[in-house]
């Protein structure tokens, strides 16, 4: 009997023990003083919970609640912060609903530090083998009906193998700085970053972006949204080697996908199933690596702005960009304006609704210089299709279908092949 009572007492003690066992690699942030009531500052509690796991690391559980942060978090290596969400949440129209109310909605992080200081410390920095998942990031002092207040990056990813999954960034000024790391993973992220969504640079070992969706759910009030349209960039790529981007989307930015050169270099990678809707420039290419940017199964539209052009390749470009099986539509000025010394190719693409802004008779694609490949595409409007400027060095335009007569203007003195294009 004594042995039985001892066994029952042991089981009872185990069952009543708080879920806070650093030895087993899991702690509950509530056990370190986090209130999750939306009023107190929970910064120190989260930092203490991470420190309790030691250098071996583990998981800090942040159960349902609204955690307010007056400071920022630095995640030691091998730490996961896990909220209550099992998949990325959605909060459409929250500006009209007094969101959030403490404790009534999953795991919410209220971020208040560094208002007006864009160059301040990121809210949360992930280091080697760190993961942030299952949380909602919200800036309660950001006003939905004025020009936005600058803030630093919400998330910075450093070291090796940092990951952000199943996270909603509802209204950050700057979203994720995924530079200076190796093998980052950003998966299942949604929200409305206002100035910048994701920034990739100084990546020398493959990074991945998957299932990212930026949409103006938080605010479309004219002052803020017009500012976002005039200044915002959803995806920015500097130096990254073999970047893989899958199923990403953005709506309502000045630039959807911006490829640029930084002091460390430019981009090469594989971009599959990407989309940019209602951006002044869906794709802006200032530079690409000579190995190439491969964009397949993309969908791009431009509606607004002073001169909406869906693909804008600037004078600084000297690399290679290929669009394959992509669709371009929306009442834009033109589909593509191509400059620079590099190569731009369109294969098996569909073009619709160009020259509906200025209505000045401009063709869908104007190549000012460089090298151009346009093969197997369909131009669905009875308008001028292609213009090759004097600076074009090489071009192959073949096997395309035109609605209406073939209208290709060739002013190039370079090596140009135009044949087998079928018009009505």
- Give the residue extent of every domain in the chain: 19-208, 232-424
Helix (H) or strand (E) holding 373: strand 365-375
* pLDDT at residue 10, as a whole number: 36
Question: Is the pLDDT at 75 greater than 60, yes or no?
Answer: yes
pLDDT of residue 97: 53
Residue 14 pLDDT > 70, yes or no? no
Q: Each residue of 366-387: pLDDT tens digit?
A: 999 999 999 999 999 999 999 9
Q: Annotate 134-193 with DSSP letters as a single string.
A: S-EEE-TTS-TTSSPPP--EEEEE-EES-EEEEEEE-S-SEEEEEESEES-EEEEEEE--
Residue 9's pLDDT band (boundaries 50, 70, 90)? very low
Tell me: the pLDDT tens digits for 109-165? 999 999 999 999 999 999 999 999 999 999 999 999 999 999 999 999 999 999 999
Please give the helix or strand (H or E) that residue 289 lies within, else none.
none
Tens digit of each residue's pLDDT (9 = 90 or more) over 216-264: 999 999 999 999 999 999 999 999 999 999 999 999 999 999 999 999 9
Domain 19-208, second-level architecture: 3 Solenoid (2.160)
> Quick one: what percent of the chain has pLDDT higher than 90?
88
Q: Do the two domains 19-208 and 232-424 of this chain adopt the same fold?
A: yes
Rg (CA), the chain: 25
pLDDT at 270 over 80: yes
Q: Name which of 301, 248, 255, 254 is nearest 271 in CA terms.
A: 248
Q: How confident is the model at residue 32 (pLDDT cuts 50, 70, 90)?
A: very high
| Mean pLDDT, all residues of the chain | 92
Residue 8 CB neighbours (<10 A): 10
Q: How many CA atoms lie within 13 A of 93 on its CB side?
A: 2
- Whether pTM exceeds 0.95: no
pLDDT at 33 > cutoff 50: yes
Confidence band, pLDDT 50/70/90 cuts, at residue 91: confident
More confident call, 88 vs 350 = 350
Q: How far is CA 48 from CA 43, 55, 122, 140, in A?
A: 9, 13, 18, 24
- pLDDT reading at 40 higher than 60: yes
With tokens 């971020």, the residue in question is: 111
For residue 19, the model assigns a pLDDT of: 53
Q: 236, 260 in Cβ contact below 8 A?
A: yes
CATH class assigned to 232-424: mainly beta
Q: What is the rounded end-to-end Cα distance, in angstroms, of the chain?
A: 96
The mean per-residue pLDDT over the stretch 318-341 comes to 97
Compute the average pLDDT of residues 91-111: 68
Say what the pLDDT of residue 358 is.
Answer: 79
Higher pLDDT, 96 or 360: 360
pLDDT category of residue 20 using cuts at 50, 70 and 90 = low
Percent of the chain clearing pLDDT 70 (strictly above): 92
pLDDT confidence band for 98 (50 / 70 / 90): low
Give the lowest-confidence range in 78-92, 97-111, 253-267, 344-358.
97-111
Q: What is the band of 359 on the pLDDT scale with cuts at 50, 70, 90? A: confident
- By residue count, the chain amounts to 424
Peptide bond into 100 cis (omega under 30): yes
Question: So what's the pLDDT on residue 5?
Answer: 35
């Amino acid at each position: 009997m004594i042995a039985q009572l001892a066994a029952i007492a042991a089981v009872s003690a185990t069952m009543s023990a708080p879920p806070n066992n650093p030895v087993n690699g899991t702690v509950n942030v509530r056990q370190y003083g986090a209130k999750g009531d939306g009023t107190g500052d929970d910064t120190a509690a989260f930092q203490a919970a991470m420190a309790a796991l030691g250098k071996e690391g583990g998981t800090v559980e942040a159960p349902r609640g609204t955690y307010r942060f007056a400071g920022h978090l630095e995640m030691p290596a091998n730490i996961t912060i896990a909220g209550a969400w099992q998949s990325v949440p959605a909060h459409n129209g929250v500006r009209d609903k007094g969101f959030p109310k403490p404790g009534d909605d999953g795991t919410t992080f209220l971020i208040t530090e560094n208002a007006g200081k864009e160059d301040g410390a990121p809210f949360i920095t992930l280091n080697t083998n760190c993961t942030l998942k299952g949380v909602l990031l919200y800036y309660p002092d950001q006003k939905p009906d004025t020009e936005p207040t600058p803030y630093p990056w919400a998330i910075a990813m450093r070291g090796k193998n940092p990951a952000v999954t199943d996270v909603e960034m509802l209204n950050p000024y700057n979203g994720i700085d995924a530079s200076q790391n190796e093998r980052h993973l950003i998966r299942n992220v949604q929200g409305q970053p206002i100035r910048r969504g994701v920034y990739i640079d100084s990546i020398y070992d493959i990074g991945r972006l998957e299932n990212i969706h930026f949409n103006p759910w938080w605010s479309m009030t004219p002052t803020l949204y017009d500012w976002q349209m005039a200044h915002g960039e959803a995806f920015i790529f500097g130096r990254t080697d073999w970047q893989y981007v899958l199923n990403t989307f953005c709506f309502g930015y000045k630039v959807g996908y911006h490829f640029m050169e930084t002091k460390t270099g430019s981009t090469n990678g594989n971009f599959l199933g990407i989309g940019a809707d209602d951006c002044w420039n869906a794709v802006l290419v200032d530079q690409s690596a000579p190995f190439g940017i491969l964009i397949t199964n993309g969908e791009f539209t431009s509606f607004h702005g002073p001169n909406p052009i869906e693909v804008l390749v600037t004078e600084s470009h000297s690399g290679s960009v290929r669009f394959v099986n992509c669709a371009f539509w929306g009442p834009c000025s033109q589909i593509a304006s191509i400059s620079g010394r590099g190569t731009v190719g369109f294969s098996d693409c569909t073009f619709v609704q160009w020259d509906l802004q200025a209505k000045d008779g401009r063709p869908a694609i104007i190549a000012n210089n460089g090298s151009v490949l346009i093969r197997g595409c369909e131009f669905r409007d009875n308008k001028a299709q292609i213009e090759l400027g004097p600076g074009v060095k090489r071009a192959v335009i073949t096997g395309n279908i035109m609605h209406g007569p073939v209208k290709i203007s060739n002013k190039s003195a370079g090596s140009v092949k135009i044949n087998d294009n079928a018009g009505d």
